[in-house]
Amino acid sequence: MTKLPKTVTYSPAYTIVPTYECFNRCHYCNFRTDPRKSPWLTLMEAEALLQPLKHQGVIEILVLSGEVHPQSSRRADWFWRIYNLCELALSLGFLPHTNVGPLSFSEMKQLKAVNVSMGLMLEQITPELLRTVHRHAPSKVPELRLQQLEWAGELEIPFTTGLLLGIGETQAERRETLTAIAQIHQRWGHIQEVILQPYSPGQRELWGKAAFHPQDLVELVAAARQILPNEITLQIPPNLIQEPQYLLACLEAGARDLGGIGPRDEVNPDYPHPIDAELAQTLLAADWLLIPRLPIYPKYDSRLPPPLQTAVQKWRAKLSQLDRIVTKR
């Protein structure tokens, strides 16, 4: 009897950045620039980036931005730039997923109309980090980020959140953060996946501490699988796990998704994404089958506005056809 491989998913993705400027100054950040020090991406520039991707297998357009202060006179312009970029991605046949920091309830509600899913890293809920790595990061107040998860649930937005690991939190605090996510999901049922992202030192940051140990990641994957409801998928970033044995160990411990794989990890630019074909071969050698997915899981399709449901169903039909071709081979 032939042994069937186990499956792990990934999203064929491309990231566009409206702006790198951010009013937060997290000590470990390799992404941000100071306000007014980064030009904003124009719609014309974005279209020039996206048009060539239409026949390259890209499904998800991740809109990832630095944050303009909520009280800034430029906040409205920043928000509508993000909205219009999502509209552009949809018009070109892609599925947008936005992660741009905390939003107002109104902003989140409006972006729901042009995103099939959205996200925000919870990181850690301990307030102790506000004295250290988040001392100059007003939007990293835990209550503010927890509120975002609640609002996303109230608005029925399929959502991704996660933990940043190794930034000064304790093991107990990691479990508390996972428990908080589980409780919010039990209330609203909207969290698709939780990312477990190990801190990885970069060249532009101020902090410069040691990387989160991969064995600790394996152990946390196992703990998270016990804490979180089964319907929440655990995601790990393969570019931040340098040794294949630890990647495979995380899968055996309960991780089932590798996130968006594209040309560049904007948050961790010193750690290139693996080429998906090569990654697939590595996994297949260990009886894992790497399969593409959409940025929205099927159980959440009905929560989308009708135009987005139509766009999603077109992509599901394409992936289904691809599966049939692969199966015949």
How do 6-16 and 288-292 pair as beta strands? parallel
pLDDT for 80-103, tens place per residue?
Answer: 999 999 999 999 999 999 999 999
* Model pLDDT, residue 328: 47
CA distance readout (Å), 12 to 77, 93, 169, 238, 275: 29, 14, 32, 14, 11
Domains detected in the chain: 6-328 (3.20.20.70)
Q: For position 1, what pLDDT does the model report?
A: 53
Cα 246-247-253 angle, rounded to 5 deg:
85
**Residue 156 φ/ψ region, left for φ over 0, alpha for ψ in the -120 to 50 degree band, beta for the rest:** left
d(CA 201, CA 316) in angstroms, rounded, equals: 37
20: three-class secondary structure by DSSP: coil
The pLDDT value recorded for residue 259 is 98
- The secondary element (H helix, E strand) that includes residue 32 is none
- Which one, of 269, 219, 213, lies nearest residue 241 by Cα? 213
pTM score? 0.96
Per-residue pLDDT reduced to its tens digit, 285-308: 999 999 999 999 999 999 999 999
- How high is the mean pLDDT of the chain? 95
The pLDDT assigned to 100 comes to 98
Q: Please report the pLDDT score of residue 324 as a whole number.
A: 59
H or E stretch including 10? strand 6-16
